[in-house]
Structure 1
């Protein structure tokens, strides 16, 4: 009979995810120390979370305004007619498979979907909407809004304030 050693407790996934979301480049040894776990247990847990699609990727937030690269970001709201037995899922699948679609949400409110699209020019984004999104069966309306300035992205302030700092406002009770 083989005895399997089991851990007496479960690693705090929420803390692990919170630390990783703030800094995906944290060294495994530092992450293990923060969680008070062994490096091997952290690796096992990260692997499990990746397989279960809890961790879906590791991304770099880029401030394209500080580069010599033309990037246009657009928010696209879509009204759609849900399909019998499928709801919005099949329409969403037709949309999110396009590589231009960076992010897609199902909404409760005036519109059914919100998309974030990136392109090199406004014309390129407009062409994508007109030639690929609007003709999709079930899509009844699209509204495109172009981003003029990026102040904050993924929790990170992208600009410097007038004094060169990004100080938060003082809050008093």
Structure 2
């Protein structure tokens, strides 16, 4: 991996919808070279996928309920946290999973259609895993910023005048 690969990755991570021709101009390489590099990075699992960030509150579809779950686990001999993490990330509800420092070992981000669906996931799937000692669930109430994108419209700002002594 060279400097051009890193530059290409940075641009794609920030602006995944750019065409290969646009990317080629931005990093000063021929378009066919950019195509080769992207395919290699995808094959090597450096680029894992491309996605869109959607503000579901502006659509007719009901917003999914998102929760962050702090999980305390007992690591397994020889595999540490990896074994239990692998069991957890295989559930389709799990959108993200991180090993953390601090009081809890894992942070699990899940989505569901309702709070009760998430509660069922925690009580029936997550808490029943042998390595799981405890969980703490935090429901996302409002999204202000995610992946660098601000979700609050300027029109939604508080119109009240600031009064100070």
Q: TM-score, normalised by structure 1?
A: 0.86
> Hey, what does 1:139 align to over in structure 2?
132
In structure 2, runs of 5+ residues without a counterpart are: 158-165
> Hey, what does 1:59 align to over in structure 2?
51
- Say which SS state the counterpart of residue 53 (structure 1) adopts: coil
> Hey, what does 2:6 align to over in structure 1?
14
Aligned ranges 1:7-156 → 2 under 5 Å: 10=2, 12-70=4-62, 71-156=64-149
* Deviation of 1:64 (Å): 1.4
Between 48-57 and 153-162, report the one with greater CA deviation. Answer: 153-162
* Deviation of 1:13 (Å): 1.6
* Separation of aligned partners in 2, 1:73 and 1:115: 10
* Separation of aligned partners in 2, 1:147 and 1:69: 18
* Separation of aligned partners in 2, 1:135 and 1:110: 20
* Separation of aligned partners in 1, 2:68 and 2:44: 29
Q: Deviations over 1:36-70 (max 9, x none)?
A: 00111101111111111111100000111212323
Q: Deviations over 1:60-103 (max 9, x none)?
A: 00111212323101011100000111101110011000000000
Q: Deviations over 1:103-136 (max 9, x none)?
A: 0001111110001101110000110111000000
> Hey, what does 1:171 align to over in structure 2?
none
Number of residue pairs matched?
155
In structure 1, runs of 5+ residues without a counterpart are: 1-9, 165-173
- Say which SS state the counterpart of residue 126 (structure 1) adopts: helix
> Hey, what does 1:3 align to over in structure 2?
none
Q: Where does structure 1 differ by over 2 angstroms across 4 or more consecutive aligned residues?
A: 161-164
